[in-house]
Amino acid sequence: MDFSFSREQVFFREQFKKTLNEVVAPHAATIDHEDAFPHEIFKKIGNLGYYGIRYPQEIGGMGADCTTFTIFAEELASISVSFAAIATMQCLMGTDFLFRFGNSDIKERVLLPAIRGEKIGTIAFTEPDCGSDLGAIKTRAIKKGDEYILKGRKLWITNAEVADFVTVVATVEPSKRLNGLAFFLVEKGTPGFYVGQKIEKMSARGSITGELIFDECHIPASNLLGEEGKGAQYLESILSEIRVMIAGLGIGLARAAFEAGKEYSRQREAFGKQIGNFQLIQEKIAEMETRIKSAWLLTYYAAWLKDHKESAVKEAAMAKLYSTETASFVVDQVTRIYGSYGIANEYPVERYFRDARFLLFGGGTSEILKTVIARESLKK
């Protein structure tokens, strides 16, 4: 069994880490504090080509595999979960369906600028009364002649306030639930498309989250991405990759918190010695590192399965579940090592503690993931 990364993957990690330390790290605390979209940083990363990491080189991408994309997510979250949420949305959920189903005009006008960081994208699933149950989506798409009319509200949408375009999930036939869903491209400035309330949140604060409203929003029929009724199938086809990516985010955040905890345990003294010499602190260190390594192995195994065209439904769910819960466990333990300083704004562990909560919901809650894992296990 080979647990090593390829030379290309090692090189990518080293170079990307260097880029993040130069471009993002100096501003990580400010992004969180100001709770504003970091436009300049977003453009700098785009200029370097990273938003095309998953896409073919012939359209300006890097043609990277799932393992490399997971490295990308891990390193992002080790610096800033806020910016990680922005960047991974741009690379995957916000642009994937444009790449797969958009016509040549959409690709030229929307997708390619997005890959270059010139346009900001997002995806809109969640509604006020609909989260995990996508079959309950109420946003309607009504076909009339050579256009669709969208009616509905979306909530908890990443980049809602700043997005230049959004992939909207709507139902063309509510009675069919999951079999009635479809994806549509809606661009900023389209009549009937409005940005609603901003959601003030404690986690991933630089990733602006809010409401989108579609009030008799008319779009060309050519903005249908794929086929009517196949939206759930299309989502299922990338769901495992989404979960592996979020698992990578969990590893990155847990790793950053763990390193901070180790360093503090070496520096802080109590009762005449470093607190890292106390057995109960050592127990925390041992437990955290064991969990992080376990999450790491599970996550990159799921990525390996994806790269080898194997089914990773169960493994991706396991990875997302375990990695994000591990991140929550680790940040809690690290704030305990810091004591009262763990909730002080001058230390990044306070931000890590808040950001860990953000990772628990996207791509499936822990409760939904356990259901998926059990269902997959009972198939055999």
Q: What is the CATH number of the domain that holds 206?
A: 2.40.110.10
Stated length of the chain: 380
For residue 376, name the pLDDT band (cuts at 50, 70, 90): very high
Res. 135: pLDDT tops 90 = no
For 245-311, the DSSP string reads: HHHHHHHHHHHHHHHHHHHHHHH-EETTEEGGGSHHHHHHHHHHHHHHHHHHHHHHHHHHHHHTT--
d(CA 126, CA 346): 34
Q: Domain check: are 309 and 368 in the same one?
A: yes
CATH of the domain at 74: 1.10.540.10
**Whether residue 370 is found in the same domain as residue 307:** yes
Specify the pLDDT at position 130: 84
Report how far residue 24's alpha carbon sits from residue 28's, in angstroms, rounded to the nearest whole number: 6
Mean pLDDT of the chain: 96
As a whole number of angstroms, the distance between CA 22 and CA 15 comes to 11
Whether residue 240 is found in the same domain as residue 218: no
Estimate the crossing angle of helix 66-79 against helix 81-91, to 10 degrees.
150
DSSP at 152: E
Same domain, 305 and 323: yes
pTM: 0.96
CA distance 126 to 148: 20
Last residue of a domain, one of 93, 115, 137: 115
> Are the C-beta atoms of 93 and 242 separated by less than 8 Å?
yes
Same domain membership, residue 367 and residue 332: yes
Side chain identity at residue 38, one-letter code: P
Q: Percentage of the chain surpassing pLDDT 90?
A: 96
* Residue 2 domain flag: no
How many domains does the chain divide into?
3
24 belongs to a structural domain: yes
Question: Do 372 and 244 reside in the same domain of the chain?
Answer: yes
Residue 142 CA to residue 149 CA, distance in Å, equals: 5
Residue ending a domain, among 115, 137, 164, is 115
pLDDT (0 to 100) of residue 3: 85
251 and 207 in a common domain? no
Contact between 68 and 9 under an 8 Å Cβ cutoff? The reply is: yes
Residues contacting 64, CB < 8 A, separation 6+: 12, 53, 54, 72
Q: Look-up: residue for tokens 């196949």?
A: 230
Is there a domain that residue 1 lies in? no
List the CATH number of the domain containing 297: 1.20.140.10
CB-CB contact of 358 with 86 (8 Å): no
Task: Name the DSSP class of 157.
Answer: E
For residues 105 and 131, state if they share a domain. Answer: no
* Residue 163 confidence (pLDDT): 97
Asked whether residue 150 is assigned to any structural domain, the reply reads: yes
Higher pLDDT among residues 1 and 358, named by residue: 358
Residue 236 and residue 218 share a domain: no
- pLDDT for 145-191, tens place per residue? 999 999 999 999 999 999 999 999 999 999 999 999 999 999 999 99
Residue 206 located in a structural domain: yes
Which of the listed residues 115, 136, 164 is the one where a domain comes to its end? 115
Q: Do 355 and 236 belong together in one domain?
A: yes
Domain assignment of residue 226, given as a range: 121-230
The confidence band for 129, taking pLDDT boundaries of 50, 70 and 90, is confident
**DSSP, res 38:** -
pLDDT tens for 207-262 read 999 999 999 999 999 999 999 999 999 999 999 999 999 999 999 999 999 999 99
What is the rounded distance in angstroms from the CA atom of residue 36 to the CA atom of residue 206?
A: 5
38 lies in the same domain as 110: yes
Q: Based on the fold, state whether residues 154 and 87 are members of the same structural domain.
A: no
CA geometry: angle 32, 37, 39, nearest 5 deg: 125
Half-sphere exposure of 226 (CA within 13 A, CB side): 23
Find out whether 151 and 110 touch, Cβ atoms under 8 Å: no
- Identify which of 37, 25, 24, 29 has the alpha carbon closest to the alpha carbon of residue 209: 37
Q: Evaluate whether residue 216 is within a structural domain.
A: yes
